[in-house]
Amino acid sequence: MKNLVSIVIGVIVLLVGVRWFMQQSAAKEAFDKHEALIAETNECLEMAEWNCAEKNVRTLLKEAPDDQNLQLHLAGILYEQERYEDCIAYVQSRKFRHEDLDYLKQKSESLIREMDELKIERSMHFRVEFEGRPSRSDVMEALSVLEVAYDSLCHLFDFHPENKMHLVLYESSQYQGVGPRPEWVGAVFDGKLRIPVNVMAYREIYRPMFFHELTHAFIRAMTRYHIPLWVNEGIAQVIDASRTGMAKPEGSVPSIEALKTPFVNENNTGTAVKLYWYSQAMVERLLARNANLVHFRKFIQDMRTLGDDEALKKYYGVTTQQLLDEVR
């Protein structure tokens, strides 16, 4: 009888233990999933991937519908997506007041009023903002070239960005982007494609320029990760083809560190030319091993989890240093 009681007690203890373990495992799994969602949301916000950010914030709000910080984020995301009416309606539906919410509502109302007055044109995948008085034909030509480039890049990479892209045709340096730029810098991509409007007079310049900067936009959309500059600039130059076949610059070989650092920080034009040349040559060596740009897309997407050299070895069988040695 005692043995039977001991067995029953043992079974009960075992069942309780198994139940506790399962509860703990489920709790840990739910916690890990929640933390991963928060990390991805922060990355989406940092990289201005608004569709991804909105989806994740709405999921988090289902868990914590009264979280005011999440509500502020969602209002901001709606504003950044230019969904001004949605932003206003969402702010008005909140039960709490906050100066940031008031600002977003007022700014949205102001932008709605200004839409007819601002110099803005749109196409299927782009919005162009412009200052000064560029001809309408120049603005529409810019949108036309960008749409062609967009379709080409979608096909090459087998990838379609979620968000609409913005082009700024600027005259004044204040619209050139954040921070001082060296003299040699013209077009940049800093979340928006920023192109000097005067290049629209030169078809042989603006077409490769649009392809180049749009490639950067695709890279960011594909990775949501700051890949090494030589990879980013190298593939953009391969795509725009404006420097293909240029003679190798004279002088010392740039360091790997220099090839990873933003090139716009380089004030010396000759050094900048060298960095661009080596970047393109290194990417061309990768594509000589495998020319498929879908393969390249998977490579840059895996750099985030594998690291630079591990991804290079997995997809192309080479390290950064070995690649640099090949083109030096």
Q: Which one of 126-140, 164-178, 249-263, 286-300 scores highest in mean pLDDT?
A: 286-300
Report the C-alpha gap between 284 and 115 in whole angstroms. 44
Q: Does residue 126 register a pLDDT over 60? A: yes
Count of C-beta atoms within a 10 Å radius of residue 97: 8
Does residue 75 fall inside a structural domain?
yes
Q: Does residue 196 register a pLDDT over 80? A: yes
Q: Does residue 181 register a pLDDT over 90? A: no
Q: Which residues contact 149 (CB under 8 A, 6 or more apart)?
A: 210, 211, 214
Q: Does residue 217 register a pLDDT over 70? A: yes
Give the count of domains, the chain. Answer: 3
Among 114, 135, 154, the domain-final residue is 114
pLDDT exceeding 70 applies to what percent of the chain? Answer: 84
The pTM for the full model equals: 0.69
Does residue 19 fall inside a structural domain?
no
Looking at the DSSP assignment, which residues form a beta bridge with residue 127? 122, 166
Among 171, 199, 217, the domain-final residue is 217
- Write out the residue range of the structural domain in which residue 174 sits: 119-217
Residue 216 φ/ψ, nearest 5 degrees: -60, -40
Return the CATH number at 184. 1.10.390.10
Report the C-alpha gap between 228 and 243 in whole angstroms. 20
Token pair 């204040």: residue: 174
pLDDT band at 158 (very low <50, low <70, confident <90, very high): very high
Among 61, 94, 114, the domain-final residue is 114
> pLDDT of 294-305, one tens digit each?
999 999 999 988
Shared-domain flag, residues 54 and 71: yes
Shared-domain flag, residues 238 and 328: yes
Does residue 261 fall inside a structural domain?
yes
Query: Strand 188-189 and strand 165-170: pairing?
Result: unpaired
